[in-house]
Structure 1
Amino acid sequence: MSSELETFTMLPLQIDPQTKALTATSGSRALQSELASLNALHRSLLALDTPNQVPPPPLPVNPKRSANVSKLRDSGNTEYRKGKHADAVKFYTLGLQMALTRPLWEPQQLVREEVAALYANRAQAHMGLQNWAEGASDAEASVEAKRVGNSKAWWRRGKCLVEMGRLIEAKEWVSKGLEMEGDEGELVALLKDINVKLGEKSNSS
């Protein structure tokens, strides 16, 4: 017994060379209805205005914006060295706002590099204020922008997690950082410290 799927029916369709409308010299009422709907859709699409504007060509990186981002980062670094951590956070935040609002046609890798550095620096400023949750969040954002070659951000989030008492999470994070960065000295030392604290915690419980 043959299935309907195995049956092929040649439909008497014709296409108008001018309008491209489909017609059938014969066929069911359902076929005629389908063709009428299809032709109506075709006419409505043709009636749409064809966009005649082309997007602007890619522009080179705006040197003024790059200079401003660097200046804000440097200003933040200066305030951090003075111990003015809250002021440093403000400068890094302004730098992030400027970096993140670059036009979409500018290289995304440039944005990632700028953002990774600014988030990592702001994480350290938050750590100076003992804002561990904010520091952990910024360090994680830095790693998301740049996963490899960013050991300071990996370390800073790990340190913030330790300070918040989230030792298991800190161990997992630092271990992952070591996979990305190799046997980086600060990360290795932090992992040892975490393991000691975990050992002390398990012994005291």
Structure 2
Amino acid sequence: MAHAPPLPPPGAAPLSPAHLSLLDALPHTHVPHALKTVTVPANAPPDIAGKSFALVVCSLHDQQKCDQCAVDFAPVNFLHQFLRFAPAEAIPPPPNVAPPPQRAQAVTNLKEAGNNAFKAQKFDVASQFYSKATDAALSRPPWEPAALGREEAAITLCNRSASNAFSGNWAAALADAQTVINLKRPWTKGHFRKARALVGLEQYEDAKQAVIDGLQYEPNDKELNNFLQEIEEKIKEADKAFPDTVQ
């Protein structure tokens, strides 16, 4: 029996005669089946309780798996239920579809909440919001462009590094700054945050090197150049306070 030409989805080309001939050549066995409407019990999770869905069953015995008819519709029904009740982010979208804006908006909202707490000098609270924003950025589904999550995380971790620095948590500030550099090496802000944390730890030579590393990407960066002068002054002061007495 020849197949009726299937209707193509919107934007797709219709099947060619060669493809239709190939479909006609495939062996086909008629399987007696029927659709049965089932209601999810009330004791199921609240997001699906009471909802209805269709099951494919054997039309002769009303069973998903029927040994008498040698059919097993359980895998098809499982796939249907998964697609029916799965959250939107669990199902890959068609190719070349822009990611939904909800996650990016959530990251922005959490980051702004952190910024407001930072301005109010509530640095611990700010760090918590930046942590949540980072988690949201890095929990994007694997089919979304990885660069989106890296870009968002670089910004939120850079802000958390600053918040940790103002809290005097220099080790955490350094760890965040180094992660920012790993995510977005040409961005001079990450190198500045690293140098700032190293100054807090009184590791002035390492701080100087961190600034020099950043200047490789932006030699005229005013913030880095000014901070380099501050670090060199601290190095001179440290040399005066602890002169080398080895002969």
Task: Tell me if TM exceeds 0.5.
Answer: yes
In the alignment, structure 2 segments of 5+ residues that lack a partner are: 1-90
Shift of 1:200: 2.6
| Cα-to-partner distance string for 1:129-165 (whole Å, 9 max, x where unaligned) | 11111111111111211122x3222212101101111
Match of 2:234 among 167, 183, 197: 197
Q: How far apart are the structure 2 equivalents of 1:76 and 1:62?
A: 23
Q: How does 1:14-33 map to 2 (within 5 A)?
A: none
| Cα-to-partner distance string for 1:36-77 (whole Å, 9 max, x where unaligned) | xxxxxxxxxxxxxxxxxxx95445312111110110001000
The aligned residue for residue 156 of structure 1 is: 193
| Secondary structure of the corresponding residue to residue 217 of structure 2 | helix
Structure 1 ranges of 4+ moved more than 6 A? none
Q: How does 1:39-54 map to 2 (within 5 A)?
A: none
The aligned residue for residue 174 of structure 2 is: 136
| Cα-to-partner distance string for 1:57-110 (whole Å, 9 max, x where unaligned) | 445312111110110001000111111111100100001111111011111221
Paired residues of 2:110 and 2:130 also in contact (CA < 8 A):
yes
Q: How far apart are the structure 2 equivalents of 1:110 and 1:181?
A: 23
| Secondary structure of the corresponding residue to residue 71 of structure 1 | helix
Q: How does 1:1-205 map to 2 (within 5 A)?
A: 56=92, 57-58=94-95, 60-148=98-186, 150-204=187-241, 205=243
Aligned length, in residue pairs: 150
In the alignment, structure 1 segments of 5+ residues that lack a partner are: 1-54
Normalization by structure 2: what TM-score? Answer: 0.57
Q: How far apart are the structure 2 equivalents of 1:145 and 1:181?
A: 17
Paired residues of 2:138 and 2:150 also in contact (CA < 8 A):
no
Paired residues of 2:126 and 2:163 also in contact (CA < 8 A):
yes
| Secondary structure of the corresponding residue to residue 140 of structure 2 | coil
Q: Quote the sequence identity (%).
A: 33
Amino acid at match of 2:229: K
**Aligned Cα root-mean-square deviation (Å):** 1.6
Q: How far apart are the structure 2 equivalents of 1:200 and 1:83?
A: 30
The aligned residue for residue 79 of structure 2 is: none
Q: How far apart are the structure 2 equivalents of 1:62 and 1:94?
A: 19
More strand per residue: 1 or 2?
Answer: 2
Q: How far apart are the structure 2 equivalents of 1:65 and 1:112?
A: 14
| Secondary structure of the corresponding residue to residue 150 of structure 2 | helix
Q: How far apart are the structure 2 equivalents of 1:81 and 1:203?
A: 37
Q: How far apart are the structure 2 equivalents of 1:81 and 1:200?
A: 32
Q: Relative CO higher for 1 or 2, CA cutoff 8 Å, sep ≥ 6? A: 1
Q: How far apart are the structure 2 equivalents of 1:98 and 1:125?
A: 19
Amino acid at match of 2:228: L
Q: How far apart are the structure 2 equivalents of 1:181 and 1:103?
A: 33
Q: How far apart are the structure 2 equivalents of 1:154 and 1:199?
A: 22
| Secondary structure of the corresponding residue to residue 104 of structure 1 | coil
